[in-house]
Amino acid sequence: MTRLTVNNEAVQYLMAPDTPLLWALRDASNLTGAKYGCGSGSCGACTVHVDGRAVRSCQVPLSSAEGTFVTTIEGLSRERSHPVQLALIADNVPQCGFCIPGIVMAAAALLKRDPSPSEEAIGATITNICRCGIYPRLAEAILRAGRAMRGEETISAGPRPGIDPADAARLVPALDAGARR
């Protein structure tokens, strides 16, 4: 049995001690924001915070997480209003979205440690792999999030999840056959 705190909730996992933390979070706690990508810790899709540090959860045996405080993307900001999340949305960074939770977690840990990182520090720290090629916009979004966290900028982004679909899109009457040509 491994006991830890996940998103401020005490949890006891009845899983093998060598089970990767990623699978405990995804399978036992149904926290699916951390993704399985490479399984070797290279891609960063599984990044979570353990005691405030960004770690690749596919590489952390459950036994070594005993007594730690783990924060997943679901626990970072339930309303998705963390400055990193808002900045990525405002700067149109997310594409397919698979890597985004890991990138958000890595960036949030960086900004907590260093609220004014250089672009070089961002590049050295955020080593997550994104197959969509978001890198040109990513550094600026992280810098923007840092400014917001320091109170130097306000970020407004798109509608938060949970909006009524009628407020997000409108149905348009179908075009008649003659108008389609």
Closest CA to 145 of 180, 172, 114: 114
Low-confidence winner among 3-12, 133-142, 162-171 (lowest mean pLDDT): 162-171
Q: Where are the domains of the chain?
A: 2-76, 83-149
Residues found in the chain: 181
Question: Is residue 92 within a helix (H) or strand (E), and if so which, with residue range?
Answer: none
Segment 81-110 mean pLDDT = 95
pLDDT value at residue 164: 64
Biggest CA–CA distance in the chain, Å, is: 68
This model's pTM is above 0.95: no
Q: Are 72 and 6 in contact (CB under 8 A)?
A: yes
The predicted model gives 40-50 an average pLDDT of 97
Q: Say whether 83-149 and 2-76 share the same fold.
A: no
For residue 122, give the H/E element and its range. helix 119-125
pLDDT at 118: 96
DSSP-derived letter for residue 157 is -
Residue 71 has pLDDT above 90, yes or no: yes
Number of H helices, E strands in the chain: 7, 5
Q: What is the mean pLDDT of the chain?
A: 90
Look at domain 83-149 and name its CATH class: mainly alpha
CATH code, 2-76: 3.10.20.30
| Rounded-to-integer distance, Cα 85 and Cα 98, Å | 14
pLDDT of residue 155: 93
